[in-house]
Structure 1
């Protein structure tokens, strides 16, 4: 049986022929992302702007699309509607969560607004009942923004310490700058296209950090092995060899992940579309940064060639072995 091969075993692409240009492009993209964030800001969702969550219950099956159409006529701004699933619910217990953004910086929506929402939804499901109404004020939302970005910052700091302990400081700096590159560009895209930015996107950012780090560590592990194996080769050749050796794994992982994400984006509905969009962009930019940012920075900084245990040097076969 023949194996599917996306990349030949003897690949020898020169990824660092124009490495300064790639770093320059990444630098310009980061500046554009920061400029977009400063000028346009983010389209914060209810989690970060405050609002009211209404829990509804009805015997009729929840039709999220019909609920959304009924709510759109009220002009309440950002509204998120999702069905709640629980194995303990009976067939006549259909629960939904309706989340409405804060109106004119008020702590909660007015009774008149709730009455209007109830009337609109009763047109879709006459037996609908409002079980609970909970509000998140602007102060709590501001705290959520701070803690969310703090979580992303601390995760990147933890990565810096981890890579520094596992490799050397040059590896750590390259990996962390690649992660900052991925996060900033993702925030820049959300700022430019004004997709709703909520806690689900923060979860996506943390997932992107993990995905990009995993890809970078795979490359760096092979770089470290080849630095031991080929002590007399220039660092540029060692980096090129290492990336070519792991290229098959990188492409296969990215493509299979993309297949699942595209399916979720098309079929998953509006509730998770922002999260999936962030992940699709993150997989693309994370794969790019592990090669053209993290490894290019490592080439720029250089690596001590005497930090590993001495081993007998052997000649490299073209392309090397695959992961």
Structure 2
């Protein structure tokens, strides 16, 4: 190999052999890990807030996983064990951001009892926006340095993380909370229609 391609001793040699059995096993592990994480997070958020907020958070996480899968497919990044680690990392990052927004909503609901729920959510998002953006930027800075200076295996892990962090920040602000609001408003309209009938 060295003579044929003119490689030096310092060149990194790496071989990956993924047969269909291992590929199916990786898919199964990634799916099961994401499913178990989503169910446990749904239970936790339902216990801490309410069921609607838990479902909204899981929908936002599904969005993040789909974005990650799209990045892997478009950029033809090999699926290996770092794929599972990247997905679980992004799920954890996204749910952390979502819980912080939900926690602020819960706090504001105590003090803004006469306000509509959508106004409380809007104010809560604005109050946590700077924190979410600052946290994402500092994390992105670190991951970007890893991507620039790291070896290829680190780059294969860091690039989807960069996309996932941006996606997770976006989904916790613009997907999870609005879904929670829309569901509550839909239920309120449904109850008012039933009372009118």
Residue 101 of structure 1 pairs with residue 20 of structure 2: no
Q: Deviations over 1:150-197 (max 9, x none)?
A: 111111111111111111011101100000010011101211221212
Deviation at 1:62, TM superposition (A): 6.1
Residue 188 of structure 1 pairs with residue 89 of structure 2: no
TM-score for both structures, normalised by structure 1: 0.53
Provide the C-alpha distance between the structure 2 equivalents of 1:195 and 1:141, rounded to a whole number of angstroms. 14
Tell me what 2:171 maps to: 289
After the TM superposition, list the runs of 4 or more consecutive aligned residues in structure 1 that deviate by more than 2 angstroms: 99-102, 137-145
Query: Of the candidates 176, 181, 184, which is equivalent to residue 302 of structure 1?
Result: 184
The answer on whether the counterparts of 2:57 and 2:98 sit within 8 Å (CA) in structure 1 is yes
Query: How many residues get paired?
Result: 180
Deviation at 1:140, TM superposition (A): 4.2
The structure-2 alpha-carbon separation of the partners of 1:270 and 1:140, relative to structure 1 and needing over 3 Å to count, comes to closer
The answer on whether the counterparts of 2:29 and 2:84 sit within 8 Å (CA) in structure 1 is no
Tell me what 1:279 maps to: 161
Query: Which runs of 5 or more residues in structure 2 are unaligned?
Result: 1-7, 189-197
Q: Name the SS for the 2:151 alignment partner.
A: coil
Query: Which runs of 5 or more residues in structure 1 are unaligned?
Result: 1-60, 69-80, 82-98, 103-136, 306-323
Deviates more, 1:255-264 or 1:143-152: 143-152
TM-score for both structures, normalised by structure 2: 0.85
Q: Name the SS for the 1:195 alignment partner.
A: coil
Greater helix proportion: 2
The answer on whether the counterparts of 2:26 and 2:80 sit within 8 Å (CA) in structure 1 is no
Aligned Cα root-mean-square deviation (Å): 2.0
Provide the C-alpha distance between the structure 2 equivalents of 1:190 and 1:297, rounded to a whole number of angstroms. 27
Provide the C-alpha distance between the structure 2 equivalents of 1:144 and 1:252, rounded to a whole number of angstroms. 34
Deviation at 1:297, TM superposition (A): 0.1
Deviation at 1:67, TM superposition (A): 4.3
Residue 199 of structure 1 pairs with residue 81 of structure 2: yes
Deviation at 1:142, TM superposition (A): 2.4
Deviation at 1:236, TM superposition (A): 1.6
Query: Whose Rg is larger?
Result: 1
Q: Name the SS for the 2:153 alignment partner.
A: coil
Tell me what 2:195 maps to: none
Provide the C-alpha distance between the structure 1 equivalents of 2:154 and 2:37, rounded to a whole number of angstroms. 23
Deviation at 1:271, TM superposition (A): 1.3
Greater strand proportion: 1
Provide the C-alpha distance between the structure 1 equivalents of 2:99 and 2:90, rounded to a whole number of angstroms. 14
